[in-house]
Amino acid sequence: MKYTVITGASSGIGYETALAFAKRGKNLVVIARRQEQLLELKKEVNNIDPKLDVIIHNLDLSISENVYKLYENLKEIQIETWINNAGFGNFATVGEQKLSKIETMLRLNTEALTILSSLYVRQYANVEGTQLINISSGGGYTIVADAVTYCATKFYVSAFTEGLAQELRSQGSKMKAKVLAPAATETEFALRSLDVDSFEYEGAVPKYHTAKEMAAFLLDLYDSEKVVGIVDGITYEFHLKDPLYPYVDRNTK
C-alpha cells in the first residue's frame, strides 16, 4: 500500500487536498494539532471510499522533536507523495511583531518543512513516481507590507524547493520536487495571521480562491512536469512554470 502524507490537514488547503487525493484512490497519512478535525476528515474520506486507509497523527510540528518522531513513525509504510502544507502567517510590522509567535512560525514554516523534506528525499529520491510538494505563497515571490517575516519564511520555502528540484534533476533522481504558491485563499490563515476570532473574506478581500479551488490547482501541479504552481496576485489566474529563481550548478563547467 502506498500513502500520501499531508501536514496541516485539519483545515483549509490541507483538508481539501486530502479529500482530492482520496477521490483518486490514495491512502492518506494526515497530520495536524487538532485531532477532532482529523477524525472528521477521516469520516469524509471513508464516505468517498471506505476501502482507503487513513492514518492520523495528532502532532504540533513546531516542536522539533515531534518532527523527527513523525518521520520515524512512518518509516514502515511506503510513501508515494509528501505534501508539506503546515504553516501559518503573521501580519505585523517587524518592530511590533510578537517574537514568541515568530519563533513558532520559523520552526513550523521553515525548520519542520526542511527536516521532513530532507528525510523524505534521503529515503525516496530514487523511487519511481515519488513527489514532494511544499506549500509556499505568493508572498514567497513578492514581499507584502506588514508581512515581511512571513514572506521571508515563504521565500525560503520557494528557494529551497526550487533548488531541491534542480538538484534532484541534475542527479538524475526519480523523485520530483514542486512548490505551490497560492494567493489569498479562504482558510483559517487570516485568523492566526491577525490574531482575531473571526474574519470574513467576502467584502474584506477583493479576490481570493476557496481552499477547494487551491486543492484542484495542487492536483494540476501534481499531474504536470512543471516545478512551480503559482497564482498571479493581480489576475488570480493559476500558472504552471519552470523554476523562477536563478540556479547555478557548481559542477557545470
Q: How confident is the model at residue 204 (pLDDT cuts 50, 70, 90)?
A: confident
State the cell numbers at 50.
Answer: 471506505
Q: How confident is the model at residue 253 (pLDDT cuts 50, 70, 90)?
A: low
* 229 pLDDT higher than 90: yes
State the cell numbers at 39.
Answer: 477524525
Of all residues in the chain, what percent carry a pLDDT higher than 90? 89
Q: Give per-residue pLDDT as tens, 129-184.
A: 999 999 999 999 999 999 999 999 999 999 999 999 999 999 999 999 999 999 99
User: Chain-wide mean pLDDT for the chain?
Assistant: 95
238-241 vs 27-32, strand pairing mode = unpaired
Position 193 scores a pLDDT of: 79
Q: Give per-residue pLDDT as tens, 49-93.
A: 999 999 999 999 999 999 999 999 999 999 999 999 999 999 999
Mean pLDDT of 95-122: 97
Q: Which domains does the chain have, with CATH numbers?
A: 2-241 (3.40.50.720)
In Å, how far are 12, 183, 187, 215 from 210, measured between CA atoms?
Answer: 8, 10, 7, 9
* 217 pLDDT higher than 70: yes
* 38 pLDDT higher than 70: yes
Contact present, 89 and 147 (Cβ < 8 Å): yes
Q: How confident is the model at residue 18 (pLDDT cuts 50, 70, 90)?
A: very high
In Å, how far are 113, 148, 230 from 92, measured between CA atoms?
Answer: 23, 8, 24
Q: What is the pTM for the complete model shown?
A: 0.95
CA-nearest of 186, 163, 127 to 3 is 127
State the cell numbers at 29.
Answer: 497519512
Residue with cell 490514495: 26
Which residues of 66-214 form beta strands (DSSP E)?
78-84, 131-135, 176-181, 185-186, 209-210
Identify the helix (H) or strand (E) that includes residue 7: strand 2-7
